[in-house]
Chains A and B, each alone.
Chain A
């Protein structure tokens, strides 16, 4: 368990958090603008979040 690997993994998790947070934020804005498109926006948000999370987990395993 080396220190650079742990620091790198921490940075990746920060990136993942920021990315998913932004997606969630814009999804909320889009739902606020057009409440009837709630289902489609939620689906698209979950897809994008899962893709980003995949990269994040791969970094966690590199530790």
Chain B
């Protein structure tokens, strides 16, 4: 009972932040007249990571744009630690001065500028201002922290219910127990083998639920796009890569550099291909998750935007039905992508700890 009250207390505290509206004194430059380009800008804004946690914005009658949400801290490393609230950047309008340096937010990235906030371009329309190292707590970081806290409470509750009731789970964790068992019996043991699977179970379980929860959160109207961010999936694939190669035994490296059981000339031919495979296998994990989630979000938001473009009874209702059907598929894709990532990671771990078999 105490755990439920604690979790609900946290939810209430967090939800209180959402009601606070931040004022915008200057007009937004992206309100162009054309509906299609406005929708495109909106979609692009939703796919990017923002430095403040805003769930939407609306324009008041005077033409001011108000954002619903709260500002997150901006943490930069620019020959020293610079911390300020992202509200000072005013969603890209204002230039913030810290000491002798000026910072401005442009298209989601923080650049160093001069006092007027000048962004200089080169011939290819790329920005040539220098960027400080951006370690801020952005919306994605907040979501990942929230998801890890959620997972921590859920599974700690499950583990403690085992302590209380013997081997019977109770509470919210009851839903996750068959999934945990499925990951152990059908993903970990067949791929890694009964001897070594316990080492990797914690990583596989974490990855599965982390990616699943983040994918589901990305489908909510809060506009949180975490796994559709290539940096996030890069980090996850990097973890799989590191764990595979750092816990591999001699057979694994022998299979890469000097494949046993083939003639010598084939061994020399196979070595660079296998070496490339070591990089490409986690890279495909990265691309698969990123592209699936990103493309799903783009398609879904474009279909919802199509509803507004049509603006009559027939077209809008058909677009709504299509968007609804695609949302259902996206829920399936969320689970499927988490499952595929976990299964392929387990497969790579199985390669790493494979024992020597006589008949190869």
Nearest Cβ in chain B — how far from A12, in angstroms? 12
Number of B interface residues at 8 Å Cβ cutoff, please give it.
13
The interface size of chain A toward B, counting residues with CB under 8 Å, comes to 11
The verdict on A47 contacting B340 (CB below 8 Å), with A54-B292, A57-B292, A57-B295 known, is yes
Q: Tell me, in angstroms, the Cα distance from A29 to B298 when the chains sit together.
A: 35
Q: Which residues of B contact A1 (CB under 8 A)?
A: none
| Closest Cβ–Cβ distance, residue A30 to chain B (whole Å) | 18
In angstroms, Cα B338 to Cα A47, docked, is: 11
Q: Could you list some 12 contacts between A and B, CB below 8 A?
A: A43-B186, A46-B336, A46-B339, A47-B340, A47-B343, A50-B340, A54-B287, A57-B287, A57-B288, A57-B295, A60-B295, A61-B294
**Per-position 1/0 for B304-340, Cβ under 8 A of A:** 0000000000000000000000000000000011011
Residue contact A54 to B291, C-beta cutoff 8 Å = yes
CB distance from B205 to the nearest CB of A (A): 18
* Complexed CA–CA distance, A58 and B289 (Å): 10
- Give residues of chain A (4-61) contacting chain B, Cβ–Cβ below 8 Å: 43, 46-47, 50-51, 53-54, 57-58, 60-61
User: B291 near A51 (CB under 8 angstroms)?
Assistant: no
CB contact between B284 and one of A43, A46, A47, A54 (< 8 Å): that residue:
A54
Known: A57-B288, A60-B291. 12 other contacts (CB 8 A): A43-B186, A47-B340, A50-B340, A51-B288, A51-B340, A53-B292, A54-B284, A54-B292, A57-B287, A57-B291, A58-B288, A61-B295
Closest 9 CB pairs of A and B: A54-B288, A57-B291, A50-B340, A58-B287, A57-B295, A58-B291, A61-B291, A57-B292, A50-B336
Q: Which residues from 68 to 115 on chain B have a C-beta closer than 8 Å to any C-beta of chain A?
A: none
**Which single residue of chain B is at the shortest CB-CB distance from A54?**
B288
List B contacts of A47 (CB < 8 A): 340, 343
Query: With A and B bound together, what is the CA distance between A47 and B288 in angstroms?
Result: 12
